[in-house]
Amino acid sequence: MSPKCRVRAPSNIALVKYWGKRDASTAWPTNSSLSMTLSTAFTETWAEPTKAREHEISFVRTNHATTSQAPSRAIKHLDFLSRECGFSTKLKISTRNSFPMASGIASSASGLCALTLAALGAWTHSSNLAELVKTFPIDKLARFTRMGSGSACRSLLGGLVQWHVGESSDDQRVEQITPAHHWDIFDQIMIFSNEHKTVSSSEGHLLAASSPMFAARVAGLKEKLALVTNAWRERNFSLLGPLIEQEALEMHAIMMTSTPPVNYIAPKAWEFLTWLREVRATHGIQAFFTLDAGTNVHVLGERKYLEVLTKLLRNDWEQNIFMLDEIGSGPTLDVCEEIDLG
Ligand code: DP6
């Protein structure tokens, strides 16, 4: 058995969305974004040097193997990292998600964050994250990670995280706004379709600017980000909730009015959003939704409302309840001998 670098990297859910790129080649977004790092939804990735001539990637549990003959996003990212950092040794990568890949939950944030850290950890023989950060400070890791997938750079830190757009693509950075323990917020993830989306996020970003509503959105984002951050800092959910719902719907309005238009939200999900607003009014539950580029809905709320909400969900939406998540403290890295599926 040879030692493997093992990384567990969380997914994240954006409260102020990244939708639109200024420059895809440098992974420079149009605007700063803000997300909550998750805990239960994660990717675990093991990396070890191999004498093979190509990188090897296998998706454990699904038995789905691929090599660099079959071009994939992961291989492309490994090639980018080795070029950028000057490592020529090929890697054997094993990876798994804590959630089914076909579920519609964004796996690119956790997946590309885990892959970046595991590959760099294996190449530098780091035994923990602090050691890796000595060689590659967090902003360097963020640059590497977002070249794989933009939202993945926010998964490098725990709690509430801001990805600052900066004045130039080199000026971007990630910042932890509050640590995980700042606020006990749950995220009840609901799934409304198992089908893969027909337009990927990367393709969608490029369409955003064609929406006639895009300029108005961008003009208001700085102020919105400040409002959301303040509501979060003050732990004021009745202020935060309406802001995040409006923000998610605004992003989907951009999607639906771009050329060509993209609709990620299935009819059942729309029904659910109306239901949530109704139960909020009738039961006084402070729980609000947000959505990614998909038809899964994240219902966020303070822990004290979870029990009542769960009862109502079990009653009306049992089939659509997917995963209960919460705020997480960011990725971990260690070294192990065997792949342990836990
Ligand atoms: C809707 O990070 O998946 O989830 O950078 O092209 O990989 P690429 O896009 P990606 O876009 C995520 C978009 C979003 C909103 C967000 O997470 O901020």
The predicted pLDDT at position 164 comes to 98
pLDDT tens track for 261-274: 999 999 999 999 99
Q: Say yes or no: CB of residue 33 within 6 Å of ligand 1.
A: yes
Residue-level pLDDT at 104: 57
pTM for the model: 0.95
Residue 149 near ligand 1, beta carbon < 6 Å? yes
pLDDT per position as a tens digit, 295-327: 899 999 999 999 999 999 999 999 999 999 999
Mean pLDDT along residues 141-156:
97
For 99-121, the pLDDT digits (tens) are 866 555 667 899 999 999 999 99
Q: Ligand 1 within 6 A of 105 CB?
A: no
- Over range 138-150, report the average pLDDT: 97
Q: Is 145 in the pocket of ligand 1 (CB under 6 A)?
A: no
User: Does the pLDDT value for residue 198 go beyond 90?
Assistant: no
State if residue 286 touches ligand 1 by the CB under 6 angstroms criterion.
Answer: no
> Residue with the nearest Cα to atom 6 of ligand 1?
202
Q: How far apart are CA 13 and CA 325, in angstroms?
A: 10
Give me the numbers of helices (H) and strands (E) for the chain, helices first please. 9, 14
Using alpha carbons, list the distances in angstroms from residue 328 to 14, 30, 339: 14, 26, 23
The protein residue with its alpha carbon nearest to ligand 1, atom 3, reads 201
- pLDDT tens figures, 45-86: 999 999 999 999 988 865 444 433 234 889 999 999 999 999
Strand partners, 336: 4
pLDDT score of 64 = 40
Q: What percent of the chain has pLDDT over 70?
A: 94
Mean pLDDT of 177-185: 98
Question: What tokens appear for 113 in the block?
Answer: 């964050």
Structure tokens given for 337: 């001998």
Is the pLDDT at 184 greater than 70, yes or no?
yes
pLDDT at residue 195, as a whole number: 75
Token digits of residue 235: 């732990």
Three-state SS string over 118-134 comes to HHHHHHHCCCCHHHHHH
Nearest atom, ligand 1, residue 150 CA: 5
pLDDT for 66: 40
| CB distance 202 to ligand 1 below 6 Å | yes
- Please report which confidence band the pLDDT of residue 10 belongs to, taking 50, 70 and 90 as the band edges: very high
**For the chain, what is the mean pLDDT?**
93
